[in-house]
Each structure stands twice: as C-alpha cells, then as structure tokens.
Amino acid sequence: MNPLRILYVVLGFIFFGLGAVGVFIPVLPTTPFMLLAAFFFSKGSGRFSRWFTSTKIYKDYAESFLRHRSMTRNRKIKILALATAMLTLSFFIVPLIHVKIFLVLVAVVMYYYFARHIKTITNEEWEIIKAEEEALKAAAAAEEKVTLRETAHEVLELHEKVFEEAIEEATEQPSERTATDPV
C-alpha cells in the first residue's frame, strides 16, 4: 500500500472518530465528519470503505447524502455553520500549531467537499428523494413479510400434516395393530 493511501485511511479513521464523538456530543457535527470519512476511506482502501459503509453510524448519518450526493441549501448551511463554529472554537482553544494547521485543513477540505461533491437541491427534490427511499424500505419490508408469511404457512401445513397422521395412527383399528405396536 502506498503512503498516500495509508494517509487516506488514517484520515478516514480520524474523521470517523470525530463523527462518532459527534453522535454523543450534540455541538460536534456528525454528518460532515462522516462525509469526510467516506471520502478518505473510498480513496484509501476498498476494504475499509466497505467496512465503513456497513456501519450503523454511516447508515444513520451519511448514507442518503452519499447515495444521492445532494443536500438542501439549508442543510448545508446548518452543517457547515456548526462545523465551522466547532473548528473555530477548537482552533482558539488549542495552543499547538500542528493541531491548528490540521483544523484549518479540515475546514478547507470540508468546504471543498461540500461545494464540489454535494449537489444543492430544493426542499421539494429532497422530499421526493425521501419519499422514494421510504417507498423502497416499505417494499422491502412488505417482501420480507410475504416471505415470513409464506414460511409460517408452510410450517403450519407441516404441523397440520403431522397432526393428521398422528390422529390417523391413533384411530387405527385394533386389528390393524401388531403385537409390537404400543397401545
């Protein structure tokens, strides 16, 4: 693995960690860090990218954005404002120059990613996307219910058949039974 890809994977884990912390600390934005983590994992390693996209935190905070590569203007502004505020606060609190440089780089990459890789859509377009996703989820759930219903029906038929055979066996004529059959 070349050094640049290693750097991408390391940055992916850093942003994933920051995003995970953001789940528990409301003032730290989760979505921008998840988007950055997705970007770096996809550049760094297919294996880490597949792992990341299978995590619950990714599915909850970034999947729909990345699937459609779009957000409403309001959503972008809110996310960027909160992320910028947190990065700015960190910039002034932390005395280490290396950390300050890193925070500035995070901000630059974040703004670049939002500007170049996430399409701005209207609220109506977003509602259509969400409705389509809900319809797909409902269809998948309905298909799963049908499968479960069919399986339950097959099990009931099997139980009914076994029960009928047991009744048939129990009601056999005594003359049909042999001496070895239990009574």
Reply yes or no on whether the pLDDT at 76 is more than 60: yes
Reply yes or no on whether the pLDDT at 26 is more than 90: no
7 vs 28, higher pLDDT: 7
As a whole number, mean pLDDT of residues 51-71 equals: 80
Residue 12 has what pLDDT? 93
As a whole number, mean pLDDT of residues 97-117 equals: 90
As a whole number, mean pLDDT of residues 94-119 equals: 89
Residue 87 has what pLDDT? 87
User: CA 181, CA 179: separation in Å to the nearest integer?
Assistant: 6
CB 38 within 8 A of CB 58: yes
Reply yes or no on whether the pLDDT at 31 is more than 60: yes
User: CA 83, CA 29: separation in Å to the nearest integer?
Assistant: 6
Residue 177's pLDDT band (cuts 50, 70, 90): low
**pTM score, whole prediction:** 0.47
CB 70 within 8 A of CB 129: yes
The 3-state DSSP class for residue 121 equals: strand
Name which of 39-43, 56-60, 144-148, 170-174 the model is least confident about. Answer: 170-174
Spans of all domains in the chain: 3-121, 123-170
Residues in the chain: 183
179 vs 20, higher pLDDT: 20
